[in-house]
Amino acid sequence: TIGMIVIDSNGLISTGTSTNGLSHKIPGRVGDSPIPGAGAYAEKDVGAAAGTGDGDIAMRFAPAYQAVVNLKLGMSPTIAAKDAIERMANYFPNAMLALIVANNQGDFGAACNGIETFPFSVINPNQSKVTVYRVNC
């Protein structure tokens, strides 16, 4: 699954997801990726979040929505992501879950669960090329 956040130089935000889901899923199964607030979410003047992982779990918690609400409450992107992940991990400690979060200033962060590390890709004017960051889960 790819989850993506783009914020332009004026702070206008878009987010999206695309996936082919789980291998061997029961036909008709849809994951969290196309569910607003679950696979991704954004609010103008605030920020956005997008996720990847076990969509059957994630769609029960609306983690992207939670992360954006966390930004509105004043959390940094990293703390906002960690809080949203922890809410799911409390119920499903083994589930593979990850979130990227960015605020409308261009600050970004990520958090994850159920794997060793989670890589994500970033580019902004501070970087001459795409940087792949990794967070420990």
Partner 1 sequence: KGSLPLVINTWPFTNATIAAWETIYHEGGSAVDAVERGCSQCEVDQCDGTVGWGGSPDENGETTLDAMIMDATTHDIGAVGALRRVKQAISVARKVMENTNHTLLVGDQATQFALSLGFHETSLTSDKSRKIQADWINNSCQPNYWINVNPDPMLQCGPYHLPQSDKLIKSNTIDNPNTIISSSESERGHD
The residue annotated as part of the active site, out of 1, 15, 17, 52, is 1
Q: How far is the CB of 8 from partner 1 (least distance, A)?
A: 5
Compute how many residues bind partner 1; rule: CB under 8 A.
79
Does residue 41 bind partner 1 (CB under 8 A)? yes
Cα 24 from Cα 120, distance rounded (Å): 26
Q: Rule CB under 8 A: is residue 89 a binding residue for partner 1?
A: no
Report yes or no: 80 and 67 within 8 Å, Cβ to Cβ.
Answer: yes
Q: Both tokens of residue 36? A: 């607003």
Residue 34 in the binding site for partner 1 (CB under 8 A): yes
Residues 93 to 132: which contact partner 1 by CB under 8 A?
93-96, 98, 100, 102, 105-108, 114-115, 118-126, 130, 132
Helices 63-72 and 77-89, axial angle in degrees (round to 10): 140
1 is catalytic: yes
Give the three-state DSSP class for 113. Answer: strand
Instruction: Please name which of 37, 35, 86, 84 lies closest in space to residue 65, comparing C-alpha atoms.
Output: 37
What sign results for the dihedral spanned by CA atoms 95, 51, 135, 87? negative
Q: By CB under 8 A, tell whether 86 contacts partner 1.
A: no
Q: Which of 55, 80, 83, 85 binds partner 1 (CB under 8 A)?
A: 55
Least distance (Å) between residue 83 CB and partner 1? 18
- The set of catalytic residues is 1
